[in-house]
Structure 1
């Protein structure tokens, strides 16, 4: 499998800087720490790799399809092997470096989430790679929007919002600078803001007028956006509340079959999130039990008295019937 570090070493410019401390120490078992550290570096490389590709497109250069394809293959293969750790990084990272670079982390995160939905839907490896490629470029049209509008720290005016909506049109135009893009990529770029009830844009398509990949990317990118801060919104919604919002408030916007897959593959208590147990202890979810997503494996951070445990302590809630999650917690409130 191609290593991103090898690709980036050949093309890294002055924008790249080592950024230590991007992820908190969440696991005490040595082997898992090493795996997480290695995956953290891979994740950072994914965001940097996409940033470099987008820089080339912004400069008007033609980009070889393998640059996107190799990134999609890495994401796909990691998810197929074990999706827990990569999904945990999605929930830990908002963006790398400067706030205005949120687009690149958003695109990588959305691609991980969308590809995971495709995996849960039974897609083949080639289908997953095409879905991942499409997800990585879904917001490419933002490159043609003004930085002032994208990074505005307050609510957009009507005119500004109408300009932002044009990114679905601009994106299709910019895809011509990437050689060999699959047809599904153009569909996703153009349709990922369409909604099955006809309330979306740019064409107010309904139901089956929207491609399946576009329906998947639509729910993935909305979930990613509301669980991470943005220039105009510093706060984020915790995963539990985000899942609830999508199911209760946005249920008419997304295809029922996609929502079902979403609920089965995106836990309201994903790896990396914090929970309060009925014992009074606070723990961090380290793994999701696929057959019982509401009863994950939790590592205790603070016991009922508010003190860190003397020894590492993990509880598999699927095997501890008397221990339950009282509520999800926001890490910022701890």
Structure 2
């Protein structure tokens, strides 16, 4: 299978993975032959990439971090409750209506059960493939990756529950940001950015009195944009003034935001985003946290189409556990785009002169000045 930009899909191709609706339901199943109308509709709904069946990469199998059922339940709960909070004001004293503690704890129990059963030593970044609001998918992404890093750090079940809830709900305050600011397709003005920054305070107020939500999870919503050197917001906290869980969430939140395509900017390539995290080691992010992220996370998922510095193009077909950011690439076409009669593989962990310069249709992007 190949992870292909929707812009490159053609009628007659067959899906290799399910696509979910914004309610978490299966919109299109595996093996479905896509039509021109489907492609147009998926693009209109915000789907940027889909997994397509391909005989040259039929041997690729993707490890599932969380089951389709867990994805369905999680996206359904996130969308339902976030939409409710967008459509009506919170109760007095910041308590949300309706109460959501039990529902989100149930979601986290599902997520944790799935993740602890994963036998892979490397965390594979997932492509949920959902027709959905950026906020909903981002919340689930950050939850899954942060919880996995918590597992790798040896956290207990109770600690994972608190960390996971903090990650799942870290951006819940954005439900209280005016829609014109939250969904603005261009760069925010200074006053709009100040309003956007208030989502951390809104999130804390929403969560701090919520039954079933640990107070630490509320502080994660409050602190996930704080940075070690005091340059973050809303309080300019430094070092150990920031809770350990909020540091994890801030790290993963930054990576997911940097590598996600938005209307108003191109994404960074995965290795660029990791380099950006490393550039902030000791000033923005904890060194050991960045190191564990680098050592445990495969930033180029299996099936991703890439272009090499030689001009050749291919697909990621393997991950080296000791060097997950330097994958094995199967070269399928030469520098002129002509398919090779005999594809061959390049192990980037051993051939250090070989480099990925673009993924799918994403070229090298300039650094991001701010991550919201």
Q: TM-score, length-normalised on structure 1?
A: 0.78
From 169, 172, 175, give the equivalent of 2:204.
172
In the other structure, the counterpart of 1:266 is: 297
User: Which of the pair is proportionally richer in strand?
Assistant: 2
Query: Which residue number corresponds to residue 102 of structure 2?
Result: 66
Partner residue of 1:5? none
Q: Which moved more, 1:152-161 or 1:54-63?
A: 54-63
Give the gaps of 5 or more residues in structure 1: 1-12
| Equivalence for 1:237 | 268
Report the counterpart of residue 3 of structure 1 in structure 2.
Answer: none
- Residue 82 of structure 2 corresponds to which residue in structure 1? 54
- Residues 243 and 40 of structure 1: CA distance in aligned 2, closer, same or farther (over 3 Å): farther
User: Which residue does the alignment assign to 2:315?
Assistant: 284
Task: Tell me, in whole angstroms, the C-alpha distance in 2 between the residues paired with 1:302 and 1:48.
Answer: 40
SS at structure 2 position matched to 1:332: coil
Aligned to 1:150: 182
How far does residue 256 in structure 1 lie from its aligned partner after superposition? 1.6
Whole-angstrom distance in 2 between the partners of 1:290 and 1:249? 24
In structure 2, relative to structure 1, the CA distance for the partners of 1:48 and 1:114 (3 Å cut) is same
TM-score when normalising by structure 2: 0.71
Match of 1:327 in 2: 356
CA distance in 2, matches of 1:103, 1:78: 22
Indicate conservation of the 8 Å contact 1:83/1:116, yes or no: no
Alignment of 1:30-109 (within 5 A): 32=61, 39=67, 42-43=70-71, 45-58=73-86, 59=88, 60=90, 61-80=97-116, 81-82=118-119, 87-90=124-127, 93=129, 96-97=131-132, 101-109=133-141
Aligned-pair RMSD on alpha carbons?
3.5
The whole-number CA distance in structure 1 between the counterparts of 2:209 and 2:303 is 37
Q: Distance in 1 between matches of 2:329 and 2:209?
A: 45
What's the CA shift for 1:88? 3.6
C-alpha separation in 2, matches of 1:85 and 1:265: 5
**Residue in structure 2 matched with residue 24 of structure 1 by the alignment:** 51
Do the aligned partners of residues 157 and 36 (structure 1) sit closer, same or farther apart at CA in structure 2, a change above 3 Å counting? same
Matched, 1:317 2:347: yes
Provide Cα deviations, 1:19-73, integer angstroms capped at 9, x if missing partner. 437522267548937x769946753553233111212344452234231122222
- Residues 247-258 of structure 1: matches in 2 within 5 Å? 247-248=278-279, 252-258=283-289
Counterpart CA distance in 1 for 2:212 and 2:347 is: 47
- Is the Cα–Cα contact under 8 Å of residues 140 and 167 in structure 1 kept in the other structure? yes
> Secondary structure, in 3 states, of the residue corresponding to 2:51?
coil
Identify the structure with the greater helix proportion: 1
Give the superposition deviation at 1:255: 1.4
Q: Give the match's secondary structure for 2:361.
A: helix
Gaps of 5+ in 2: 1-20, 29-41, 91-96, 364-372
